[in-house]
Amino acid sequence: MEAKELRIGNLIKYKKGHLSKVKSLDSDNSLMVEGFEDNYINGYYDVCNFEPIPLTEEWLIKFGLKEHSKWIWRIPLKGNMFLIYDVGTKSVEIGINDSRTGIAFKCEYPHQLQNLYFALTGEELTIKE
């Protein structure tokens, strides 16, 4: 994972197991995350200290996706459009009504799903309470 793949608000995992949210990114592949500000010089860490979180069913539920069928999860976008996650291929497509566009994006980590959702809606995909 590289810092250029991340946006502020993305969820990532510290290699020692702590989940964190990106607070700030720097041009030298370093970042600041919630909960680590006092533990490092100026609060910045090299991105190599972090790893992506595997995108599991638990994360799909946390983000508000609903199971549509055995392998398919959906979340509404705008109007009759949906973001469709295929568990089998670990890919995301845009759907209109119940049809798929056929354009799929590999999506194996929550930060990738967050970034795609933001690109399509202009809104953050956050954990639903």
Q: Is 17 within 8 Å of 43 (Cβ atoms)? A: no
At 18 the pLDDT is: 80
Whole-number pLDDT of residue 117: 92
pLDDT surpassing 50 at residue 41: no
Mean pLDDT of 27-50: 73
DSSP 124: -
Mean pLDDT of 110-114: 95
Q: What does the pLDDT read at residue 43?
A: 65
Average pLDDT over residues 19-45: 74
- Strands 19-25, 99-106: parallel, antiparallel or unpaired by DSSP? unpaired
3-state secondary structure of 91: strand
Q: Return the domain boundaries, the chain.
A: 3-51, 57-121
Which one is predicted more confidently, 43 or 104?
Answer: 104
